[in-house]
Structures are given as structure tokens and as C-alpha cells.
Amino acid sequence: MAVQIHPTALVDAKAQIGVDVTVGPFTIVGEHVVIGDRTQIGAHNVIEGHTRIGSDNNIGHHTVLGAAPQDKKYAGEATALEIGDRNLIREFCSFHRGTTQDDGVTRVGNDNWIMGYVHLAHDCQIHNHTILASNAQLAGHVQVFDHAIIGGVTGVHQFVRIGAHAMIGGGSALHQDVPPFVMATGTPCKPFGPNTEGLKRRGFTPEQILAIKRAYKIVYRQDLSIEQAILKINEAAAADPASADALRLLSTFLASSDRGITR
């Protein structure tokens, strides 16, 4: 199937469009945009700036991708937005380009499910297989790691990180990092246990889930400092090779937290 560009769409002649791409009515595509094969773009979208979109994405109506960052320090630098493959991006989403205060690129990985009205501010880093429910609002420099889920109408403060397999309840306000495997919700956000159901669905063994539950208790139930908790989790990882990768994922995240963790 050839590229299908609706007669009312405005696609710059310099834009790079892959094979089997569909561009809907009244959509605008700028000159520095690259769109990969088989990506479908709905009606009334604006895709601008140095924006690179991979293959097999499905982009709904009325999205704005690659607009200038809402940062007073931004002075027109040629920063970028990069979107990977097989993402679903629903109506009225807005993803902004990066800034030179970071590495200059806002990134969305592969296989993400991003619902309506989600905002990704400048320099956000969304990894793979995440779910961002409707009206999730992410400030600048936020990182969301693999398989994390963010509930609807959730606000995330700038520079916050949400660990792999974490789950955030709807209507939450995050001001600190949420570690891997943790369920958290509320305003302000508080932890409510490990995300055991999510881990089962992703193939973690009962033994690995038990090790993660024990690690959660080390962090949240034993009145330890973060440094003490990291030592105990690393000791547990050394004694449990089958769960070592998951435990070290948690301890590494804790050790690299600048904002502190939700506790």
C-alpha cells in the first residue's frame, strides 16, 4: 500500500515519510520530521520540530508532537523529540522537544500505551511497555521505566523517576521517586506495597515475587536508612541468584535517587 496523505493535510516536501504511512485530514507535518513505515496519523495533528517517529505507531487525532519546550531558558535551539516503534498515542496528547539543560531530546521508547490528553514536557524519558492513562501530566526531565503504569489525572513533578514495574494510582501527585515494583497512590503519593499482580502477569516466578516482597519490607518496614536498605538488598541478591537481577535493579535505583524516594 502506498503512502496515503489526505488532500487537506500539509506535509512539507522535506519531511521524510516511510512506506505505507497514513496521514489524516488537516494534519500538519514539518520539514524536519521523520515518520517510519506503517505509522498511522489521524486528523488535525501538528508534528513539528526535529521529530523522529518510528514504525507501526498509531497516533490519534488532535495531537501536538515536537512543539517547543515550555521552558523560559529555551532560546530556539534545535532540540528533538524521538518516538520509537509500535506506540499507541491517543487524542489530544502533547509531547514537547528537549532542552540543552539536559541532553536535548525527549524520548518515548517502544510498545507504549499513551491515552488521551497525556502531556510529556521537555526532556522526559519514557522507556518501553509503559501505560500512561488519560490526563497524566509529566513535568520536565521525568523518567518512566519499563512496564510502569501511571493512573489518570496524575501529576508528576520535574526530575521524578518512576521505576520499572511500578504502578501509580489515579489522581496522585508525585514529588519524589517511586522505586521499581512499588504500588503508590495519593496526594502526596505514598507506597502501598509491591505490585505483585503486575509481576505475576509479566512472568516473575513465585520465588522472585517473594524476594521482592522481602526487599519491600527492608525498604519500608524496618526503619532503615536508604544506605542500610541498599546493603541488605545487595546481600539478599548475593544469596539468591534467581532473584538477583530484580533485587539489584531495586538497589541500583535507590542508590541513584537524587530527589529521594516516596516513603
- The CA-to-CA distance between both ends of the chain, in Å, stands at 53
Examine the residue annotation and report whether 141 is marked as an active-site residue of this protein. no
- Choosing from 122, 127, 129, 147, the catalytic residue is 122
- Choosing from 123, 127, 129, 152, the catalytic residue is 123
In a 10 Å sphere around its CB, with 0-12 CB exposed, 13-18 middle and 19+ buried, how is residue 90 labelled?
Answer: buried
Residues 6+ apart with CB under 8 A from 225: none
Distance from chain centroid for Cα 193: 22
Inter-residue contact 42 to 60 (CB < 8 Å): yes
> DSSP 3-state helix, strand, coil percentages of the chain (rounded to 5)?
20, 30, 55
Residues facing residue 185 across a β-bridge:
190
Asked if omega into 241 is within 30° of 0 (cis), the reply is no
Examine the residue annotation and report whether 122 is marked as an active-site residue of this protein. yes
Residue among 126, 176, 105, 117 at smallest CA distance from 152? 117
Residues facing residue 10 across a β-bridge:
28
- Choosing from 36, 54, 109, 140, the catalytic residue is 140
Examine the residue annotation and report whether 140 is marked as an active-site residue of this protein. yes
- For 53, phi and psi rounded to 5 degrees? -115, 130
Catalytic residues: 122-123, 140
